[in-house]
């Protein structure tokens, strides 16, 4: 294999429900590890999928025309401004494939979503990681890390695993200073969940900044993580330049149909986002009542510090049927990242954490 692959391990996803059932002999498992939508997806999705089941012998529409029209209309952009991927994971891969090579470098925060680094390493580009400050992107230090060989700067907004965000003023000031030869990728996987009034309206920024790529996904608020649909939004010329790096049939017929139906049901998204917000507030209150530090979040997950090693909290919850992510695996060893679940799921988390904290005292 290529030298660049040798130091890499495959992506380590959160444990699956089946895995934990088997390992711990438990029947009831709550999975709050991968920031999935605990309310599922729009009820319209199942019918949309069923209607495509007679078409499985045919290749999908490689250009995802119907989905493309819908998304373009929804965002108010041209159809030619979109790039679809097998999840936004694949959009990351395509962008890296298109822009990175040996001798080039790429700038990102740490910790952040690990696939930027992973794909950059595969392309044998140099990775420049800039530590978060108080859980937030240090944009000044990121600007300082840019040089003539920098091809991509990544801003995960809101950031995974902290849930923190770069606001409109900060983002504009940053974009004004990024040299024109550098692509800026704004990963907005959790966009639908954002509530902050000063969060940037990013799509209109495409008119001002040629080098911008926005990424979004159907895996989070839309509840279609299993079907793998993500997309990039950028200026037409940029999309045209990147497209040849995309596999011809990278989103399936089923996935495209499901995404169309999910996009049509905005009432479902609003309801999920509202419930998420109310439950997130309960997490804040729980943390405050128990003196736990947390990062205020614009997403459907929360990073909290529980006063002991993240692995310990992870194991305590796992043995009792709740799967979360240890901060240790995410570059923040003193805490855990918990997906905000339904009221009942979160109640269970609060009960278990209270028990654990009681024991630790």
Could you tell me where the DSSP H helices lie in 146-222? 168-177
Site for ligand PMP in 11-40 (CB under 6 A): 35
Quote the least distance from Cβ 283 to ligand PMP, whole Å.
18
Considering Cα of 68, then 69, then 74, then 78, what sign does the dihedral take? positive
d(C-alpha 17, C-alpha 305), whole Å: 24
Q: Could you give the count of Cα atoms lying within 13 Å of 120 in the half-sphere of its Cβ?
A: 21
Site for ligand PMP in 229-248 (CB under 6 A): 230
Residue from 311, 268, 285, 343 nearest 46 by CA: 268
Site for ligand PMP in 302-361 (CB under 6 A): none
Structure-block tokens of residue 143: 């600007």
d(C-alpha 350, C-alpha 358), whole Å: 12
- Pair 95, 231: CB distance under 8 Å: no
Residue number, 170 or 187, with CB nearest to ligand PMP: 187
Structure-block tokens of residue 192: 């639908």
Site string for ligand PMP, 147-186 (x = CB under 6 A): ---------x---x--------------------------
Quote the least distance from Cβ 103 to ligand PMP, whole Å.
26
Q: How many residues touch ligand PMP (CB under 6 A)?
A: 13
* Contact pick of 105, 106, 119, 217 for ligand PMP (by CB under 6 A): 217
Quote the least distance from Cβ 136 to ligand PMP, whole Å.
15
Site for ligand PMP in 76-115 (CB under 6 A): 87-89, 113
Quote the least distance from Cβ 120 to ligand PMP, whole Å.
15
* Contact pick of 37, 162, 219, 235 for ligand PMP (by CB under 6 A): 219
Quote the least distance from Cβ 160 to ligand PMP, whole Å.
4
- Pair 213, 234: CB distance under 8 Å: yes
Would you give the distance in Å from CA 15 to the centre of its chain?
17
Residue that has been written with the tokens 């509530």 in this structure? 195
Structure-block tokens of residue 342: 């339904």
Residue number, 93 or 105, with CB nearest to ligand PMP: 93
Quote the least distance from Cβ 13 to ligand PMP, whole Å.
9
Quote the least distance from Cβ 246 to ligand PMP, whole Å.
14
Strand order in the sheet with 230-234: 82-85, 230-234, 212-217, 183-187, 150-156, 105-110, 126-131
Summarize as ranges the residues that interact with ligand PMP (CB under 6 A): 35, 87-89, 113, 156, 160, 187, 189, 217, 219, 225, 230
């Amino acid at each position: 294999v290529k030298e660049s692959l040798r130091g890499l391990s495959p992506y380590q996803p959160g444990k699956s429900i089946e895995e934990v059932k088997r390992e711990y002999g438990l029947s009831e498992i709550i999975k709050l590890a991968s920031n999935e939508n605990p309310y599922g997806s729009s009820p319209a999705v199942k019918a949309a999928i069923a209607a495509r089941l007679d078409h499985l012998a045919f290749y999908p529409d490689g250009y995802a025309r119907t989905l493309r029209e819908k998304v373009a209309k929804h965002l108010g952009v041209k159809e030619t401004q979109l790039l679809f991927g097998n999840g936004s994971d694949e959009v990351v891969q395509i962008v890296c494939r298109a822009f990175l090579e040996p001798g080039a470098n790429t700038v990102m925060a740490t910790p952040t979503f690990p696939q930027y680094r992973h794909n950059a390493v595969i392309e044998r580009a140099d990775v420049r990681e800039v530590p978060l400050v108080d859980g937030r992107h240090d944009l000044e230090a990121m600007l300082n890390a840019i040089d003539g060989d920098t091809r991509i700067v990544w801003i995960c907004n809101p950031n995974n695993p902290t849930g923190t965000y770069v606001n409109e003023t900060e983002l504009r000031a940053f974009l004004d200073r990024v040299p024109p030869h550098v692509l800026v990728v704004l990963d907005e996987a959790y966009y639908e969940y954002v509530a902050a009034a000063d969060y940037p309206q990013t799509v209109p920024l495409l008119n001002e900044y040629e080098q911008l790529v926005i990424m979004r996904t159907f895996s989070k608020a839309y509840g279609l993580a299993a079907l793998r649909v993500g997309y990039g939004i950028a200026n037409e010329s940029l999309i045209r330049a990147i497209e040849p790096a995309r596999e011809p049939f990278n989103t399936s017929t089923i996935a495209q149909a499901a995404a169309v139906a999910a996009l049509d049901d905005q009432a479902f998204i609003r309801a999920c986002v509202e419930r998420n917000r109310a439950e997130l507030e309960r997490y804040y209150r729980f943390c405050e009542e128990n003196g736990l530090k947390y990062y205020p979040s614009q997403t459907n997950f929360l990073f909290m510090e529980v006063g002991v090693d993240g692995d310990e909290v992870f194991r305590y919850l796992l043995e009792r049927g709740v799967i979360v992510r240890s901060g240790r695996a995410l570059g923040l060893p003193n805490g855990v990242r918990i997906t905000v679940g339904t009221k009942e799921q979160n109640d269970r988390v609060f009960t278990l954490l209270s028990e654990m904290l009681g024991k630790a005292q």
